[in-house]
Chain A
Amino acid sequence: MTEFLKKLMLTHGVTSDEGRVTKIIEDEIRPYVDEISYDALGNLIALKKSKSADAKKMMLCAHADEIGFITMFIQDDGLIRIAPVGGIDFVAYSYCTVISSKGVKGVIAPEEGTKPEELKADKFFIDIGAKSKKEAEKKVALGDMFTVIPHMTKLSGSRYCGRPFDNRAGCAVMVEIAKGLRDCVNDVYFVFSSMEEVGLRGAKAATYNVNPDYGIAFDVTDVGDVPGCKPMAVKLGDGAAIKIKDSSVLCDIKLVSSLADIAKEHKIKHQFEILRAGGTDTAVMQTEAGGARVGCISIPTRYIHTQNETIDMKDMAECVKLGTLACNIRL
């Protein structure tokens, strides 16, 4: 899983421009599913059919997009003004190296003398080294997406830092589930959704198109084990996090209980998650198109939305185990 995850990590795919990422997933997953399609918003929907006569629809969902910057204006001096796409913490991104979807590299910097509390999008620009607007325009077009240069670096033991684990980690878990899934009582829809970072938009359309009975999202979650953080029970390395609640959703208690029972029965290392701030595709699966019973399996991640998000591959493995068994849930 690590190698495939790395491949996903290094692929550019800011919100609305996820095609490169979904293509890699499509190629990887094709041998293991029965149908593959894309919808109008760029969601990749792969179906593994059940042999069961009364199959219900289980939708697994991980978003394929990542946060980034969109080119809005090119100044006469060749510097590029941008707008954030998704929740950007500009403090974390000051003076990072960035790369566009076409491979153009640059530095994102705030205007000199900007006070920390003023670090907002309108103070930032990207410097690609161009001396003039004309030179810049040869390399960058309005609308081009930038991200902080992706990487995946091994730390001690089974831990890695890098970006964007949010949410290529979730995508990798789902691909791994697809590879290992034997015959299942439910039709399983693997949805790699678009535009999550700007408000769960892709998944809303995908849910309407799939119309599932059950939904499980795979995404990263915050942890409560670094100095100064808000109190939170989730710890990095303590296994798959079964979501109870985040600011967008309160998961279905029946589905949560099922996940907990499965984890207990199969001795899957797990923990329960209440996330104070942050939403996931889980929310729209619950309320779109007639409603579904939903849950979410989260990958504990430190420093989310920075250039050094940190995960533990052991947690990933537990998520795969739990997710695979969860495909058979019937409530």
Chain B
Amino acid sequence: MNDIKGLLSALTSPVTVSGYESIAEDTVNELCRLYFDEVINDGANNYQLIKKAKTKGAKKILIDAHMDEVGMLVSDILDGGFLRVTNVGGIDCKILQPCEVTIHAKEDIYGVVSATPPHLMSKKELPNFDELFIDTGFKKEELEEKGVRVGTPISFKYHLTELLNDRICGKGFDDKICICAGIEVVKQLKDTDCEIILQLSSREEIGKSAAVGAYNTSPDLCVVLDVTGAEIPEEKDTIYKSSVMGSGAEISVSAITDVKLTKKLIKFAKDNDFPHQINVDGTNTGTNANDIPTIKCGVPTVLLSIPLLNMHTYAEIISLADVKSTASLTAGFIKSLLKDGAI
């Protein structure tokens, strides 16, 4: 778990469909042992990894990256060994027919999402989740014996593949790549006197558990790290501006996050030659940065995102260069704020 690739692999192999983040508890504890003083698992199932400050009264920095990933839950077991499923988080049905999945019962069970052959389809419409079945090759009774029941989580089978230019392909990078970036930030702030809480938040894909962590910790600053859609040619001609992979962190400007602090962050990135891009989110960031700013008497919050392709699929792609530069920018910015007494 020393380098980003190793850490990413350790984080993405346990399957943490929203609400089921505890499956990765061993990895979280190992992270705590390596870089932190304490870990808290709160009622909403967020994990807060805490590195204590050297002096009393030092500033508290909350770095939020969510631990959950999109996936599916068994919603019914049918005769013939097929499973009906429901989605957790936004999954594009276009990637499902067919694809490989793992059903996480007492033991992991292999399955393939079924698909009607095109020449037998009466309409060329996308199926919805009610029309999808998972093909397990077992009988209903065998599945029940193996502990499959309504609510059993299902994940995409994934393969961590290295592409050219230090780009990596796999699943769950949304948002575990940001946990990797968060760990890099913690490493870089080793000698800075502040309390750092790296929150591996729960249920980002379906709700707002992250705010619970902000409520319980009352930080002086919150940096939310998430991923953002990287540019593909099909988006070039639209008003939607997406960030280019390999060109650094995307800084979100919005009416939800802290406007002044965000301006400072952009200036800091410019002055210090950190690669960065700007995205104007308007009034909705679509991330945990929506809920954290209004907790208790208010939490100054900024949002940085790492460009990612094929979001919410089993073939998400990121650039390691972006991860490193995002981490350095975040750490540098926190240091400068503390130095200037700006928080």
Contacts and interface: CB of A to CB of B under 8 A. Distances in A.
Interface of A: 213, 224, 230-233, 244-245, 248-254, 256, 271-274, 276, 283, 286-287, 289-294
Contacts of B209: 286-287, 291
A271 B46 CA distance: 28
A245 B88 contact: yes
Interface string B130-150: 100000000000000000011
Given A231-B84, A245-B88, A283-B207, A272 B150 contact: yes
A134 B216 CA distance: 56
Contacts of A254: 22
Contact of A291 (B18, B76, B150, B212): B212
A53 B203 CA distance: 33
Contacts of B75: 231-233, 274
A227 to B, nearest CB: 15
A291 B216 contact: yes
B40 to A, nearest CB: 11
Contacts of B76: 224, 231-233
Which of A245, A248, A276 has the largest count of B CB atoms less than 10 A from its CB? Answer: A245
Contact of B215 (A224, A274, A289): A289
Contacts of B44: 286-287, 291-292
Contacts of A245: 19, 73, 86, 88, 151
A224 B75 CA distance: 11
B157 interface: no
Nearest to A251: B19
B20 to A, nearest CB: 6
Contact of A290 (B42, B86, B151, B206): B42
B208 interface: yes
Interface string B195-216: 0000000010011110110011
A233 to B, nearest CB: 4
| Interface range for B | 20 to 34
Contacts of A291: 42-44, 46, 209, 212, 215-216
Contacts of A271: 150
A213 B43 contact: yes
Contact of B207 (A244, A250, A289, A293): A250
Interface in B63-107: 73, 75-76, 84, 86, 88
Contacts of B43: 213, 252, 286, 290-294
Given A253-B20, A292-B44, A294-B43, 9 more contacts: A213-B43, A232-B75, A274-B75, A276-B86, A287-B207, A287-B212, A290-B212, A291-B42, A291-B46
Nearest to B215: A290
Given A233-B75, A287-B44, A274 B130 contact: no
Contacts, number: 79
Nearest to A271: B150
Rank and list the top 7 A-B pairs by shortest CB-CB distance, nearest first.
Answer: A291-B43, A291-B44, A272-B150, A291-B212, A250-B19, A244-B151, A292-B43
A274 B19 contact: no
A249 B151 CA distance: 13
B45 interface: yes
Contact of B130 (A230, A251, A253, A293): A230
B212 A274 contact: no
7 contacts: A233-B84, A245-B19, A252-B45, A272-B150, A274-B75, A274-B151, A290-B212
A274 B207 contact: no
Contacts of B86: 245, 274, 276
A283 B211 CA distance: 13
B183 to A, nearest CB: 24
B216 A274 contact: no
Contacts of A292: 43-44
Interface string B42-62: 111110000000000000000
A245 B152 CA distance: 11
A232 B84 CA distance: 9
A5 to B, nearest CB: 27
A3 B84 CA distance: 39
Contacts of A233: 75-76, 84, 150
Contacts of A256: 151
Contact of A250 (B22, B206, B215, B216): B206
Contacts of B42: 290-291
Interface in B1-48: 18-20, 22, 42-46
Contacts of B211: 287
Contacts of A249: 207
B77 to A, nearest CB: 8
Nearest to A292: B43
A128 B19 CA distance: 50
Contacts of B206: 250
A290 B48 CA distance: 13
A233 B86 CA distance: 11
B190 to A, nearest CB: 30
A140 B131 CA distance: 49
Contacts of B19: 245, 250-253
Contacts of A213: 43
Nearest to A230: B130
